[in-house]
Amino acid sequence: MAKVVLKKQTSQLADNLVLVPGGPGLSPLSFEPLLASLEGMNVYFYYPTGTYEGSDGGNFSYTEQRDDLLEAISSLTNITLCGHSFGGILAVDVFLNDSSNIDSFICIASPFSQAAFESVNERFSEHETNEQKTKAESFQDDPTDNTYREWFASCAPHYFAYNNAKQGEKMLFSDKVSSKAFIEAREEASQKENLLEKLQQKPCKKLFLAGEKDNLLPPEVLRKDSKHGDFEFKMIEGAGHFVHFDCPQASAEQINNFISKKGGKS
């Protein structure tokens, strides 16, 4: 079962920011560096099923993961959903299914279009090392949480800015991941380009953050997706795919400004 955990509280009247991790199958650990710089809001971490101790059972399909998120935030109000990569896809899908308690949302380096996923595949294949290939084969032969974690961590140079790759690798090695969540949701998650068209018919305030140094999804690709979904687009200089982990202060500044402008109480 998934859950949301309050990590930073301002007041009962403040806006609620819910941070949704990517992967699929990662915990919200990568959001930790953001906490110190987020202001004027209550901050929640969303833990998907399988990403915290005692939560390994259950269904991990894309639809189940989306519905789990919807259920986990059902008791909150004045929500800004902020999702990284796959988490951004979930955030948009949740909003389109039920926006009654969601005021706005933020996507961080989230791929929606076929062009975006093609960029990921092409760039990943182009720069894949022998070690990463070996880790990927180990995961395919024995798909466990440990082999998934080791494979994902070995790919840190793809996901983080060059000067932060070692820290990113260390963070991923310490994460509580769910291989089942990755295996069962990844295919359907790559077929969500239609969400952008639906967004145009259901307007709300939305922000898209992209990393200048993203090795998988360059800003020009993400800018097109954000324009298609009518997002406000901001590029964070020096950040890789894990924008918020590489540049937490700059990312938090954009989030703070966005939430303060949307008229929430504090």
pLDDT digits (tens, 9 = 90+) for 162-187: 999 999 999 999 999 999 999 999 88
Does residue 228 fall inside a structural domain? yes
In a domain, 202, yes or no: yes
Rounded distance between C-alpha atoms, residue 262 and residue 260, angstroms: 6
Contact assessment for residue 41 and residue 266, using Cβ atoms and an 8 Å cutoff: yes
Q: What is the pLDDT of residue 249?
A: 98
Mean pLDDT, the chain, rounded, equals 92
Q: From CA 72, how far away is CA 245, in angstroms rounded? A: 24
Residue holding tokens 């070995």?
154
- Give 153 or 58, the one with higher predicted confidence: 153
Lowest mean pLDDT among 37-41, 52-56, 154-158: 52-56
Full domain range(s) for residue 197: 3-261
In a domain, residue 266? The reply is no
Structure tokens at 35: 């906490």
| Number of domains the chain contains | 1
The whole-model pTM stands at 0.94
216 lies in a domain?
A: yes
Tens of pLDDT, residue by residue over 65-122, are 999 999 999 999 999 999 999 999 999 999 998 878 999 999 999 999 999 999 988 9
46 found inside a domain: yes
**d(C-alpha 59, C-alpha 205), whole Å:** 32
101 assigned to some structural domain: yes
CA atoms within 13 A on the CB side of 149: 15
Q: How many Å apart are CA 259 and CA 105, to the nearest integer?
A: 9
User: CB atoms < 10 A from the CB of 55, how many?
Assistant: 16
For residues 128-157, give the mean pLDDT: 96
> What is the C-alpha to C-alpha distance for residues 188 and 195, in angstroms, rounded to an integer?
13
Q: How far out from the chain centre does Cα 148 lie?
A: 17
CA 22 to CA 243: how far, in whole Å?
A: 12
- In which band, very low, low, confident or very high, does the pLDDT at 203 lie, cut at 50, 70 and 90? confident
Q: Does pLDDT of 263 surpass 70?
A: no
User: What's the sign of the alpha-carbon dihedral 132, 125, 178, 104?
Assistant: positive
Cβ(51)–Cβ(27) below 8 Å: yes
Percentage with pLDDT > 90 across the chain: 80
pLDDT value of position 266:
33
DSSP code string of 144-195: -HHHHHHHHHHTHHHHS-GGGHHHHHHHHHTS---HHHHHHHHHHHTT-THH
Q: Is the pLDDT of residue 204 over 70?
A: yes
51-57: Cβ within 8 A, 24+ apart = 51/21, 51/25, 51/26, 51/27, 51/175, 51/176, 51/177, 51/178, 51/181, 52/3, 52/27, 52/176, 53/176, 55/1, 55/2, 55/3, 56/178, 56/180
CATH number of the CATH domain containing 7: 3.40.50.1820
Answer for the pair 106, 255: CB distance below 8 angstroms, yes or no. yes
Look at residue 87 and tell me if it is in a domain: yes
Domain membership flag for residue 234: yes
Q: What is the mean pLDDT of residues 36-63?
A: 87
CA dihedral 24, 6, 101, 40 (to 10 degrees): -110
Confidence of residue 53 (pLDDT cuts 50, 70, 90): confident
17 to 6, 79, 122, 196, 258: CA distances (angstroms):
10, 6, 34, 22, 11
Return the CA Rg of the chain: 17
Structure tokens at 166: 């070692």
